[in-house]
Structure 1
Amino acid sequence: MESVLRALAIYVALFVMFRITGRRSMSHITTFDFVLLLVVGEATQQALLGEDVSMTNGLLVIATLLLLDVTVRWLKVNNRRTGRALEGLPTILVVDGAPLEDRMREARIGVGEVLQSAREGYGLSRLEDIHLAVLEVSGSISIIPRKED
Structure 2
Amino acid sequence: MDSVLRAAAIYLIVLIVFRIAGRRTLSDLTTFDFVLLLIIGEATQQALLGDDFSVINAALVIVSLVGFDIALSLTKQKSLWFAKILDGEPIIIVEHGQLLGHRAKKARIDESDILEAARHSQGLERLDQIKFAILEKDGKISVIPNG
Common fold: TM-score over 0.5: yes
SS of 1:19's partner is helix
For the aligned residue pairs, the C-alpha RMSD in angstroms reads 0.6
State the distance in 2 between where 1:109 and 1:10 align. 29
Counterpart AA for 1:123: G
State the distance in 2 between where 1:115 and 1:76 align. 33
Post-superposition CA distance 1:81-136 (Å, at most 9, x none): 11111111001100011001110010000110000000001100000000000000
State the 1:38 CA deviation.
Answer: 0.5
Structure 1 residue runs of 5 or longer lacking an equivalent are none
When the two structures are superposed, what TM-score results if normalisation uses the length of structure 2?
0.99
State the distance in 1 between where 2:82 and 2:123 align. 37
Match of 1:135? Answer: 135
Counterpart AA for 1:137: K
SS of 1:143's partner is strand
SS of 2:94's partner is strand
Moved >3 Å (runs of 4+): none
Counterpart AA for 1:22: G
When the two structures are superposed, what TM-score results if normalisation uses the length of structure 1?
0.97
State the 1:3 CA deviation.
Answer: 0.7
> How many positions carry a matched residue from both structures?
147
Aligned ranges for residues 1-149 of structure 1 at < 5 Å? Answer: 1-147=1-147
SS of 2:124's partner is coil
Counterpart AA for 1:30: T
Structure 2 residue runs of 5 or longer lacking an equivalent are none
